[in-house]
Every structure is written in structure tokens, then in C-alpha cells.
Structure 1
Amino acid sequence: MALLALRSGLVTTVEVTSRTNSRYQAKADLAHVTINADGGRALHQFRSGGFVMGSYNSGVERSISATLSASRAGLAYSTVKSLISSQNSNVEVDDLTITAEAVLDAISEFGPKILNLSLLDSNRVQGEHLATVLRTSFDWRDNVPGWNEALLVARQALVREGVDPEDALYGLV
């Protein structure tokens, strides 16, 4: 799982060569995952790292910024995907709040297209978390790829889990 790979909190960026052929490599703290006493995982805040080097005309700043932005975008997408995974069986209010916050963080930083809910498998998603993603992204549904498909997948997953889809998806259908 992508989140476990970030347990150390550091992600290595690409190596950069300066005008004097010195080589630099940075590490950026992009996110935190904590392991709770009961063994559950919880995502805590996205962090952005910054790294500036070279002259203002070298283009190095832009390439590092683009690398970090791409890493953060991938992390945001992976976070949402892992939170709606069928392995995430915790559906308490706090757990669903973490999912909603991850969706809002991703949309606010990268726009609604970051979610891409296409091609979800109802056997591999947790219905209530997917319903939370759909409810949170409702205002942007026309810009979220696969939003309408995900609504059908959520219905199937909820039925499989024994949850009334009319109740869990109230207002979305």
C-alpha cells in the first residue's frame, strides 16, 4: 500500500545537477501516517516540501517544484484510493471524516479531476467510504472522471455489505 511506503515520512526527489556539475538530492516530507494502538492506520495532514537552488534563470526551481507537485498529486490520489479500499472496514464517523478531508484536500490542491473514480470494482471498495467520497465531491461531480459510474459501484458495494443503499446514498441518486 502506498501509505505504508511513506511511513518514514520522506520521499526522495530526483537528482539535480547544478551549473558547476555539483549534484544535489533532496528529501521532502509529503505526508504522515500513524499506526494506532489497535493496529489501524490513520492519515494525518499533507505536508508540502520546498527546495530552491541554483540561479533564478536555471530552471532548476521549476523542475523540483514540478517533481514535488507530481509526488503530492500521486500521494493524494493513492490516499483516496486506499481509504475507499474494501480493506478499510472502519466506518465510524471519525474514519469517514478522514476520507472526506482527504477528498477535500486533494480537490483543493489539484482540482476535481485528481479523483478519477473510473473503473472501480464493487468487490474491492468499501461502500460507505465510497459514498463519503461521492457526497464530498458532489458539487464537482461533472468534473470528476467516473463519478456516475462510482455511484453504481457504491450501490453494489453497499448491497454486498448489507447496508441500505437508499439510506447511504440519500440525496445522491
Structure 2
Amino acid sequence: MSTTHRAPRGRPVVSLAALLVALAIIALAVVAVRDLVVARGWAPGTPWARSLVEGLDGLGATTASTAVGVAMAVLGAVLLLVAVKPAPRTHRALPADAEQASVELWATPAATAALALDVADRTCGVLGARVRRAGRRRVRLEVGTTLDRVEIRERVTTRLREELAPLGDPRVVVKVREDVR
């Protein structure tokens, strides 16, 4: 019996927008509590909400208020689109063997990069290697050698394709330099 699990995902894009909306609601609550305290006579001053409403009373539609209304509508549409956008995937799915059909395996970009770095370091003719950038689909390596650059690039790329084949063949970009510091 195989069960399908959801892919590991990162933080949704909407989380930042949700944080900003939550902070705005907290600020509104602080103003409401302050107005309550002032209205009850527990603190001196005038309520801010009443002053705001009285200041807006009698205003008509102007270019500025129309622009603010349009900006708020656009902001609402953007927030709606961000809310339905799925969270980005953070791992790479590994192909399942026939024996392990019920088990789903996932590899992080860091694990793929570490394996690629180890393979590149163990390749004959490579003096040193480092990962320039690792993502879910691609790993960029920089290798150092004193031998022919084209030959080393081909040798490292071939070894990486062989060794990383069980990971679903991530795209590997190899840059060869005379030395790696």
C-alpha cells in the first residue's frame, strides 16, 4: 500500500504579508484600547478615532482619495494573489526503486552539493573544489587543477553524472580554474 506524501516546502510567500497585517491589527487594537482608556476618563486627552472621523467628515471624492482607493484595491489584489501562491519546494525528489515504492526520499540542496563536492574532490587531477551555488535543480562547482582545463571539466562532469544519477540527475555546472582559494 503506497501513500503519497507532499513534497517538503519552504515558508509560504504570504507569511510576510500575514505578519504585516497582524502588526497592523495589533496597532489598531492599541489605538482602540487607548481610546477606551481616554473615553472612560482614566487618562487625559481626546480619543484619536473620534478626531480622525471628525476630520474625514464632509470630505468628498477627490483625486487624492481616488488614488488612495485604487492603491488599496491593487494592494488587496496583490495580497490575494500572494495568498494563493504555493510555497516553494525546498528538496529534490529522489527516484524510488521498485523495492522502495512506498518510501519517498528527498534530498536537500546542501546534501546534493556536499555529494558533488566530494565526488569532484576525489576526481583524479583535481587539486581542490568548492561549491559556488547549490539549488534544488542545479549545483555550480569550481575546481582547481594544473592540468588541461577541458579534460578536467569533462572528467569531473562525467564522474558527477555517474555518481549523482541516483539523485535524479541534477544539473551540474563545472568551472575549472588553475587554483582554488
Bigger relative CO (Cα 8 Å, ≥ 6 apart): 2
Q: Does TM, scored on the shorter chain, surpass 0.5?
A: no
User: Shorter-chain TM-score category?
Assistant: under 0.3
TM-score (norm 1): 0.24
TM-score (norm 2): 0.24
Q: Flag the structure with larger Rg.
A: 2
